[in-house]
Structure 1
């Protein structure tokens, strides 16, 4: 079967699963993993497994950029200590734990290869966390920490992976040299990301064509990732910093139609790439099973796989709880500034450490090894353990995460956050309305001689005053904890606006079908209606 046919089949599976997933609470990502496993066992299905260069050089930059451009640097800065702790310290901690465990269980595997496995399975996957979090009511602070950790920890893991792989292939390793190189990579990629982000951001401000804007947006992650990666870095940090700069400093300055186009396109790209990755994880089951017999007995492989998986899962709990409570215990100033969080917060942070396709792609990036043992190539053994960790964490932790959130009463924290966010949003809308009314009154005084224009201005003033009244009533109801089963005036006005757009759209369709307007006119007016429905 040709590659194009396989690709079409995969897209068809994703489309069908996407339709079915609307009726279930399970995230589509987990359904794709399970279905991928089942499809891989179909006799006539050809072997399909991850191409590491496609994932690490194409898919990873796109996903990292999309996530970073949508992230809030302000919220990241507030939570910088736990983010750095998880994205650097946690990765190194898990890598050391896993390397020690696997070297103890299988001494013949050697320390360098043991650390390769540790580096591969150490970082939680940004794709897995975000895809599963979509249907989980996670408090915003936890979500910010998880999202930022997953965005940055790939840099630590990939650098550690390269050092370990180089030590395996060359039989040479210097801790001081590795540490110095790590700092150099972090500093170099950060500076490069800052420079590139500002350059592209300023360049895009001069572009008014949404199509060219989208092209620049699509090229940006590769301009950030590939040069840094080819020069010996990992590329992840440069891509993340570039996305943060553009999203934080320039996105609000782009034209409205540019923001609409880029947001919708990037959302589609992210969904498609995530879905392909999860499906490919499941499809690799056949590849792993076919090579399992080359090593130990099935019983030993099962025991070793469980041991590695438990080390990854329990190690995250140890690190998260330790770094959450111990610094506050020993540092009163930190405790005063940032009090002890509820114990449920580090629990959810620990349980949400799912591994994903990036780890499997890194495992496939290991070259064929000559130091095979027990009749099989040790590269395949690393892939087997990595696959076991990914599937276990995705299916066990991913499927139970919503249940965990519900039974730990975490949802109440998120509900409180949502209420506060709605209050802040209404206050902001009220201030924006007040600013509009103030400007309209000043403008009315300027054009007072133009009576038709004055009448139009006064009409707008009355509309904004009515909106301000509706916002004030809704805000008072929220602040007083009033429950409203009936629709508020604000909701009614929004519903009325939606219905009016629907009426106009139906009339436009009638005009088109009766040949009263041209195709170009229809599309132009339809686009205007679509823009109005966004607001």
Structure 2
């Protein structure tokens, strides 16, 4: 791929995205469809990239950016649901889809499970980013955000194990299971080390440009170092992003003068980088369509027709299996909660003990309802990770073209069937968000009172008042008097006011 083609892809992506957003359409879906159509134009060359390029260059910054906005408190409050969906469900989905793929396309052999791992993780970050517009309940948003971060790590680790088994680098699936656990632990440790080092260096640079450049290096270096020692690069990136974003915003020990300028610069920088990388991947995969179909048409096994049929079946299985699995997993909690409440009602000693120790294991305060389970189950679109993983499959893997084509069709199918109907389904389910919004207003008012109690600028130091307000909000989060989301939103506003204070000319007497 030369530089002219790359510039044309990004330029076209800007135009397509502008039109798509005005019509409330998903830009990624439009870009991949148009790129697929463009691949059939005469003279369009086949674009080839090294199989490691997409995973090493595209995925880490996208994942870091998505993690920056996630709430650590909400992650912990919904830990059971997140781990269940992000680990257990991904493993089950990869196994089921791998078995179905092996039955439909026997020529793939063990590579069917490479396909299963590629199709397993749903990409819900884009949907969650429009949660308020769609009307998603806060708990659904928190679960889907956490799931998207965890399932990426699970799926990519499983993907690397499956590719290793196919290539003869991995001895067995049992050994791969132990490797999955070891990769997760080592990856998290590496991410934590990079976070600590970044926090220490960052406040000593004293320059927003240098600080932003330092943070930009974190997802790449954490990912590559973790992968070099055969650990989970994805979990390294997630752990680093969580620790850096939370500490820089809320922890008083990591606050320093001028940090607001860096936060504002990063808030503008990361969405631009996200757009460029997502546009590139969607367009790159779409532009492969004609060539992949031509290769399949010229092969006897699996062949074009069988591959397209397999793609349709796998699309249906992926959608139905997620719906059924989410209902069963959430239903198990509902049954357990019902049994606990019955015992609480008839056993006074158990009730006293239950109330004393409270909830344990990171469970949400209440069990997800059937309507929430239906919504979580339906929001299962495949997206950027599926396409990136499919594009990174080494040429030595049998049936690579078939896997790439199926990944493309399943992604498009879920975007068309599920992505375009989420808003309609949410409205039909008629969630009552009045209590949630009232609580948010009350929490916002509490945060405003905390800021007002601090006061504004002391004489002779215009920045000290802003710093004191941010520190007060951070302490309120640590003391659980304020939610992390509200505190972050208010700190963003304080940053803007402080920047305006230094930008606007002083008022005339």
Q: TM over 0.5, yes or no?
A: yes
Contact preservation (8 Å) 2:289, 2:405: no
How do 1:445-464 and structure 2 match up within 5 A?
A: none
Contact preservation (8 Å) 1:50, 1:284: no
How do 1:19-98 and structure 2 match up within 5 A?
A: 19-48=18-47, 52-98=51-97
| Residue in structure 2 matched with residue 476 of structure 1 by the alignment | none
The structure showing larger relative contact order (alpha-carbon pairs under 8 Å, at least 6 residues apart) is 2
User: Aligned to 1:351, which of 378, 384, 403?
Assistant: 378
Q: 1:268 to 1:526 in 2, by over 3 A?
A: farther
For 1:531 and 1:123, how far apart are their aligned partners in 2?
53
Q: Deviations over 1:150-186 (max 9, x none)?
A: 1121221122122222222229643442222221111
| Residue in structure 2 matched with residue 529 of structure 1 by the alignment | 504
Q: 1:228 to 1:172 in 2, by over 3 A?
A: closer
How do 1:9-408 and structure 2 match up within 5 A?
A: 9-48=8-47, 52-110=51-109, 112-125=110-123, 128-130=126-128, 136-170=134-168, 173-252=171-250, 253-254=255-256, 255-293=259-297, 294=299, 295-296=301-302, 299-330=305-336, 337=359, 338-369=365-396, 378-408=399-429
Q: Deviations over 1:288-336 (max 9, x none)?
A: 3222312456553332211111111111112211111213313558779
Q: Per-residue deviation at 1:237?
A: 0.1
Residue 436 (structure 1) aligned with residue 488 (structure 2) = no
For 2:316 and 2:67, how far apart are their aligned partners in 1?
30
Q: Per-residue deviation at 1:75?
A: 0.7
Q: Deviations over 1:131-164 (max 9, x none)?
A: 6658533222212221221112122112212222
| Residue in structure 1 matched with residue 489 of structure 2 by the alignment | none
Q: Per-residue deviation at 1:278?
A: 2.7
For 1:278 and 1:109, how far apart are their aligned partners in 2?
25
For 2:4 and 2:260, how far apart are their aligned partners in 1?
39
Q: Deviations over 1:35-68 (max 9, x none)?
A: 2233223223333466542321011110111121
RMSD value, Cα: 3.2
- SS of the equivalent of 1:170 reads coil
Q: Deviations over 1:356-390 (max 9, x none)?
A: 232223223333348xxxxxx62211112212211
Contact preservation (8 Å) 1:116, 1:165: yes
Q: Per-residue deviation at 1:403?
A: 1.6
Contact preservation (8 Å) 2:187, 2:233: yes
Q: Per-residue deviation at 1:206?
A: 2.2
For 2:247 and 2:440, how far apart are their aligned partners in 1?
22
Contact preservation (8 Å) 1:49, 1:287: no
| Residue in structure 1 matched with residue 356 of structure 2 by the alignment | none
Contact preservation (8 Å) 2:100, 2:314: yes
For 1:113 and 1:55, how far apart are their aligned partners in 2?
20
For 1:434 and 1:348, how far apart are their aligned partners in 2?
41
Paired positions, count: 445
For 1:530 and 1:362, how far apart are their aligned partners in 2?
51
Q: Per-residue deviation at 1:195?
A: 2.1
| Residue in structure 2 matched with residue 421 of structure 1 by the alignment | 440
Q: Per-residue deviation at 1:104?
A: 2.0
Contact preservation (8 Å) 2:337, 2:367: no
For 1:365 and 1:99, how far apart are their aligned partners in 2?
18
Q: Per-residue deviation at 1:107?
A: 3.1
| Residue in structure 1 matched with residue 353 of structure 2 by the alignment | none
For 1:195 and 1:429, how far apart are their aligned partners in 2?
35
Q: Which runs of 5+ in 1 are unaligned?
A: 371-376, 444-452, 461-493, 502-523
